[in-house]
Amino acid sequence: MIYFDNSATTAIYPLALDTYVKTSQRIMGNPSSLHDLGTQANRLLQQARKQIAELLDVQANEIFFTSGGTEGDNWILKGTAIAKREYGNHIIISSVEHPAVRRTAEQLEELGFEVSIAPVDRSGFVEVDKLAALIRPETILVSVMGVNNEMGAIQPIAAISEVLEKYPTIHFHVDAVQAIGKVDQTKWLTPRVDFAAFSAHKFHGPRGVGFIYWKAGKKLAPLLNGGGQESGQRATTENLPAIVAMSRALRIHLEKKAERPNHTAIIRQYLKEALLSYDKVTVFSGDENFAPHILTFGIKEIRGEVLVHALEEKQIFVSTTSACSSRKKVDSSTLHAMHVPHDVATTAVRVSLDEANTMAEAEQFMVIFNHLYEKFSKIN
């Protein structure tokens, strides 16, 4: 099996899974309980929080645990809308945001908020000057992803941060789900960024757990109300085994990235050059300012899902441009925003790499791809 779908989800690290199992077995207390078992559980919870904060070089009181990236995005957008409604009702997002941001913004529109869409250029990068032109006195939030999950474009967060320096009261949120451990942190967590959302299963942690970065001093209303967990900001008993396993997975992931910083970039470049040698192949992902783990391409007149299933028959697993939309057969919103013609956009397939992938796998992928390409050519 060759697994090239790491942007959809990653396999949990064995050490993180071991941490999950041991924590489940040994730490039975509720972190909110006053007795010793609760104190033991809470101590472990705070240790995990501190470790994640140290890995991101932020404060422990700026880390809040969630069920994943989707909840994090929902919380930040809706929490900002509720907390800052008296100051304004205008939100700006980019045209290439993940559905967790895009659909949340649409729901806020239904509730009376105004949403503006910042366009991207033909390479998929947010046009900073056009975003700046959308800012109004009533703007309360700007939300732009760090790395696009479909094309791999590293968005100009630093340049947007410079624009927003003039507007300190506007919340700046970055969906960093595809960025952490893949792209240098300085590119997506600038001092101007107020909020960021993360998901553990994108960096070999368990599913159903994540966290947000919430800059101290910024206002955000709770999304979940109840028992007062997470300093009263996110009610529900914390998923302690998953949180502890997530903190360990993040540490391992960042260590592996530091050991082999260019590993996925080398494999990606090999695949890109090999694919470009085929006349009917279009490579949508560029080189400069693109993440080293995502490569999106298509074969002319071959729908993406056809190629996905043909590769699957050979035990090679890739996806169409987004795992969240591929099963629904929804066309790539990013390619649409890039003004790629519909018939070309429907050919898109995404390869997403990880440090566990090898050059031998990439070479085998190209052997199989060549066979399928010839087969499709004969059919056409």
- Is residue 331 predicted with pLDDT exceeding 70? no
pLDDT for 66: 98
pLDDT for 322: 55
Mean pLDDT, the chain, integer = 95
Which residues are paired to 294 by β-bridges?
Answer: 352
Angstrom distance (rounded) from CA 91 to CA 246: 31
Q: What is the pLDDT of residues 33-55, one digit of tens each?
A: 989 999 999 999 999 999 999 99
Q: Residues with Cβ < 8 Å from 257, sequence gap 6 or more?
A: 181, 182, 355
Angstrom distance (rounded) from CA 88 to CA 141: 9
135 vs 321, more confident: 135
Residue range 276-283: mean pLDDT, rounded: 97
pLDDT for 326: 46
- Is residue 239 predicted with pLDDT exceeding 60? yes
pLDDT over 90, % of the chain: 94
Q: Which residues are catalytic?
A: 324
pLDDT for 379: 80
- Is residue 213 predicted with pLDDT exceeding 70? yes
Distances in Å between the Cα of 173 and the Cα atoms of 85, 121, 214, 239, 277 are 17, 21, 9, 25, 39
Residue whose C-alpha is closest to residue 208's, from 1, 12, 5: 12
Residue range 105-133: mean pLDDT, rounded: 98
Residue range 87-106: mean pLDDT, rounded: 98
- Is residue 330 predicted with pLDDT exceeding 80? no
Note the pTM of the prediction, 2 decimals: 0.95
Say how many CA atoms lie within 13 Å of 46 toward its Cβ.
Answer: 10
- Is residue 359 predicted with pLDDT exceeding 80? yes
- Is residue 179 predicted with pLDDT exceeding 60? yes
Residue range 200-224: mean pLDDT, rounded: 98
Local confidence band at 296 (pLDDT 50, 70, 90 cut-offs): very high
Q: Residues with Cβ < 8 Å from 85, sequence gap 6 or more?
A: 140
- Is residue 327 predicted with pLDDT exceeding 70? no
Residue range 83-105: mean pLDDT, rounded: 97
Local confidence band at 262 (pLDDT 50, 70, 90 cut-offs): very high
